[in-house]
A and B are shown apart, each in its own frame.
Chain A
Amino acid sequence: MASPLLLTAAGEVGGDFFRERSSGTLPCQAQSSHLFCWDWAKENIDRYGTPTVQHLEIVLLSVVIGFVVAFGLALFAHRRRQLQPPLLAATGILYTIPSIAFFFLLLPITGFGRDTAIIVLAAYTLQIIYRNTILGLANVPASVKDAARGMGLTNRQILWQVELPLAIPEIIAGLRVAVVSTIAIATLVVFINAGGLGTQIYGSGNLTFPTSIVIAMAIVMGMALLFDLVLLTLQRLTTPWRRVRQA
């Protein structure tokens, strides 16, 4: 947190926003120790609309792009086993790059704004989605594939009608982790001027007046929970056979 890079960035990039904030009236200023100020929250709730929509857009675009790329890579590597370890390593290396460093490394190429944000966030989802898709496909019992082949399904039919449906639980498990972590990391894209709920979290005024942080945090957590529930429901709906086991 005390990284000079981060502080500089926050000062430079988020500057406008914080100036605006500190000039407003702060009803709870007398009790600055309060974590949350209802009056201020009621008065200022409108200012979270645009950042929330931005946040959502960035997350959705990143995850969709990440999924398409990672899923494509997994399908490509599925019947080319020798490709699997290098691809896993490559996506793994991307995943280990610190996010702030990743943003600023891309700045000279893609500049400030949403594109850079989406590239970085999408890159972070590759590892988990790729790995889980490969894992899900690998977990399909050999006997099921043997039977499918012996009955006259083509390789393509085996993939789409047998292997992928059976890999859904692992694939969606990967997506859930990817979505939740992307929602969290997307609060950092404020540092490259890409907006989002991070704009309501990072700011000098917030150090003594944390209400905005609490609200933004609540929205981020709510969003993560909601997406997680949606994906979990999707998994249940697409894998009815997994629920009968207990029956």
Chain B
Amino acid sequence: MPSGESDAQSQPGASSVRYEETTKQYPGASEPAVDSLTLEVPAGEICVLVGPSGCGKTTAMRMVNRTVEITSGDVLIGERSVRDREPAQLRREIGYVIQQIGLFPHRTITENIGAVPQLLGWDKQRIRERSAELLELIGLDPELGDRYPAQLSGGQQQRVGVARALAADPLVMLMDEPFGAIDPINRERLQNEFLRLQAEIRKTVLFVTHDIDEAIKMGDRIAVMREGGRVEQYATPAELLMAPANEFVEDFVGADRALKRLALMRVGDINLWEAPLAYVGQATAEVRKKLAAPDVEIPYPLLVDSERRPLGWLSERDLGADTVPQRPDSPLGPVLERDDVMRDALADLLQGESQYAPVVDHEGRITGVLSVEIISEFLASPEAKSDEHPAVERPHG
């Protein structure tokens, strides 16, 4: 391994990635797969390349580590052109995560994570320590280190895939639909884990997906691409949702616009349910009468203090006593504020495995109850569906 090992550019952490009129023309193809792409990804950010299949997003990503050779133009990592580098050397500085994971079946988890450090000539002890550290970072039991990939679940394998990419502390991470083959529940979990991880490690990440929801969730910036790797809009998720640059972006973003609109709504914008309130020391008979009223949607009373600040939900057992007890049987669960973004509120509800959550004002006083049912009714309502563009249902295929 001659030359360029400890390269002056590689400050620890992350480097920016800059495409400069980068073009990939496959021999025999009439159009370039990527046509003069210019794009800058600031250091430490997640940039999602999103677009329909065949738009060139994966080709664009692969030109960064030269698993696809650049036809013309350049890609700079930091200030350094990838074209000046020996490809194998270059790739050892770039984390690489692919949809099919591609763990080495014949190597243990520890050896898999240590693959790049081994190439870089780290000693065994250091590799073992780094592997253990990364297993902990991705939330896997260090004892799994001696297992083989076939002994792990798909989700665990993909976590190891991420850990392996991080092993040698790369300047840039390339992630090609990394969670695409994972079931929806685990995908959500892995996305969240990766976002938490990223908050810590702050790598520059190029993330390829065809799923706009994933793009909105993962991206600090999103490049919406169409055929030829043409960037139709490069913006933050909020900008993309609020101000699509053109019809293509609007169409691509808007397949289920209503759900995404939750990201732009506040809890206070919607009609909340009224909570049946109960005060400490109040006669339970009175509370029961309140519950029996026809317009009450919630089967449990909400215990509040004298300032109407929620304390918890009363259970049937609590109501068995003569008066309302001081401590409720069920914990309060998530509490939302009127200013919370609706999408986060929904996430809180789902995460708290809760059907309802009290909504409070700035002083913490109860103003109503948000339920999963309210949100789903809103999503099903013509108001959410029709929007400004009634005919947005995309044809199948």
Taking beta carbons and an 8 Å cutoff, which residues of A are in contact with B?
141-154, 157, 162, 165-166, 239-241, 244-245, 247
Contact = CB atoms under 8 A, between A and B. Distances in A.
A146 B164 CA distance: 14
Nearest to A247: B151
A152 B119 contact: yes
A141 B100 CA distance: 10
Contacts of B89: 152
B361 to A, nearest CB: 52
A152 B106 contact: no
B67 A149 contact: yes
Nearest to B90: A152
25 contacts: A141-B100, A141-B102, A143-B100, A144-B102, A147-B98, A147-B101, A147-B102, A147-B103, A147-B161, A148-B104, A149-B91, A150-B65, A151-B91, A152-B91, A152-B92, A153-B88, A154-B88, A157-B119, A162-B106, A166-B105, A239-B106, A241-B150, A244-B147, A244-B148, A247-B151
Interface string B9-30: 0000000000000000000000
Contacts of A145: 102
A239 B150 CA distance: 13
B206 to A, nearest CB: 13
A146 B98 contact: yes
Most B Cβ at <10 Å: residue of A141, A151, A153: A151
Given A150-B67, A150-B174, A151-B92, A241 B148 contact: yes
Which applies to chain B's interface (DSSP): helix, strand, loop or mixed? Answer: mixed
A144 to B, nearest CB: 5
Contacts of A142: 100
Contacts of A148: 102, 104, 115
B179 interface: no
B96 interface: yes
B8 to A, nearest CB: 19
A239 B107 CA distance: 10
A146 to B, nearest CB: 6
B116 interface: yes
Nearest to A140: B105
A147 B150 contact: no
Nearest to A142: B100
Contact of A244 (B67, B87, B98, B151): B151
A208 B149 CA distance: 61
A48 B89 CA distance: 60
B105 A144 contact: yes
Contacts of A146: 67, 98, 100, 102
A162 B103 CA distance: 11
A228 to B, nearest CB: 23
A165 B148 CA distance: 14
3 tightest A-B contacts by CB? A147-B102, A143-B100, A150-B96
A21 to B, nearest CB: 53
Contacts of A162: 104, 106
Interface string B104-116: 1111000000011
Contacts of A247: 151
A121 B87 CA distance: 44
Which applies to chain A's interface (DSSP): helix, strand, loop or mixed? Answer: helix
Given A241-B150, A245-B150, A152 B98 contact: no
A147 B147 CA distance: 19
Contacts of B94: 150
Nearest to B107: A241
B119 A153 contact: yes
Most A Cβ at <10 Å: residue of B87, B89, B106, B164: B106
Interface in B43-93: 65, 67, 87-92
Nearest to B105: A241
A239 B147 CA distance: 14
A152 B102 contact: no
B171 to A, nearest CB: 13
Contacts of A150: 65, 67, 91, 94, 96, 98, 174
A146 B103 CA distance: 10
A240 B96 CA distance: 27
B150 A244 contact: yes
B321 to A, nearest CB: 54
B236 to A, nearest CB: 28
Nearest to B174: A150
Contacts of A154: 88
Nearest to B91: A152
A143 B98 contact: yes
A143 B105 contact: no
Contacts of B103: 144, 147
Contacts of B67: 146, 149-150
Given A152-B90, A153-B119, A144 B104 contact: yes
Nearest to B102: A147
Nearest to A150: B96
A87 to B, nearest CB: 27
B106 A143 contact: no
A54 to B, nearest CB: 39
Contacts of B148: 240-241, 244
Contacts of B96: 147, 150-151
B106 A241 contact: yes
Nearest to A166: B106
Given A147-B96, A241-B150, 19 more contacts: A141-B105, A143-B100, A144-B103, A147-B98, A148-B102, A150-B65, A150-B98, A151-B96, A151-B119, A152-B87, A153-B119, A154-B88, A162-B106, A240-B148, A241-B105, A244-B147, A244-B150, A244-B151, A245-B151
Interface in B177-213: none
Contacts of A143: 98, 100-102
Contacts of B149: 241
B100 A152 contact: no
